[in-house]
Amino acid sequence: MSLRHYTPRANRRRGVSGTARKILGTVLTISILLQVAYPLSHGQMLEWVTIFGVYAGAMTMVLHAIYSFGWRYAATYLGVSLLFAFVVEQVGVQTGWPFGDHTFDSSLGVMIYGVPLVIPFVWVMLAHPILVAARRVTRNWTFIYGGAVMMAWHLFIDPQLATAHRIQWTATASHVPFEKELPLSNPMGWLFTGMLLIAILHLVLPKERRKHGAEFATVDIFLTWTLVAGLIDYLFFFHRPETAVFAGLAYAIILAPYFFSRWLGQPGD
């Protein structure tokens, strides 16, 4: 007998319309292509790829939220994530807490009191897929798992931003293993702020999906692509195999319970 759960055809959740699938697939593809272009771009092109890559990723997740849970869920998730991110990032820039002393470079676009407008949309891009994964893995410790995923994701992205001088960190004695650009406070900050954001979203957002909702394949692709792209970039473009191994293992181990659960399957997937 297969270890996977057999789901009768009659019990399977009906997906969204063909048009909705095409729209979601197109935006997701654009997001991935912009990430593919990132290590291949330089100068002004790299700046635009960085900014629009974030916006495309955020748009993908907002669309998936709409198609999966409805407009109320999507609007609440978008509003809470943007407000939370703006407040946390402002506190971070002005006080150095909880991520460590840092400043953003003007190449990230329009600034609001030292925080680029694009930065809160990074939180939007992450909040929905991480909440989906956390709710799938655990009922009682959703916020802890979500914070851990948030921290692991930034082990990939923050060294890239630091190397490209998009973020300038104040050097400290304690830094992330193999990532001297990042103070140890950075992943700890992402862990605790991620836990708080996921706790809020888990509290205020409904868990019930639409009867004709989008599948979670978009979330799976996004989370998997983060690992694949990170490994390829650090191994073949940035020539930092130690970062690829360290960040890759951390991310893969933390996401393993989610993907194992998805592999087993359950009615309505």
For the stretch 52-76, pLDDT in tens is 999 999 999 999 999 999 999 999 9
Distances (CA, A) of 225 to 16, 23, 92, 155, 222: 23, 19, 28, 15, 5
Domain count of the fold of the chain: 1
Asked whether residue 7 is domain-assigned, the answer is: no
Asked whether residue 108 is domain-assigned, the answer is: yes
Amino acid 7: pLDDT: 46
Amino acid 211: pLDDT: 80
Tokens of 75: 């609007």
Asked whether residue 42 is domain-assigned, the answer is: yes
Amino acid 165: pLDDT: 85
Domain range spanning residue 41? 15-262
Amino acid 81: pLDDT: 98
Q: Let me know: does 134 contact 175? Beta carbons within 8 Å.
A: no
Asked whether residue 8 is domain-assigned, the answer is: no
Helix (H) or strand (E) holding 116: strand 115-116
Asked whether residue 269 is domain-assigned, the answer is: no
CA 25, 59, 137, 233 torsion: positive or negative? positive
Amino acid 175: pLDDT: 87
Q: Which residues of the chain have pLDDT under 70?
A: 1-14, 171, 266-269
Q: In angstroms, rounded to a whole number, what is the distance separating the alpha carbons of residues 232 and 82?
A: 30
Asked whether residue 5 is domain-assigned, the answer is: no
Asked whether residue 207 is domain-assigned, the answer is: yes
Amino acid 212: pLDDT: 80
Asked whether residue 83 is domain-assigned, the answer is: yes
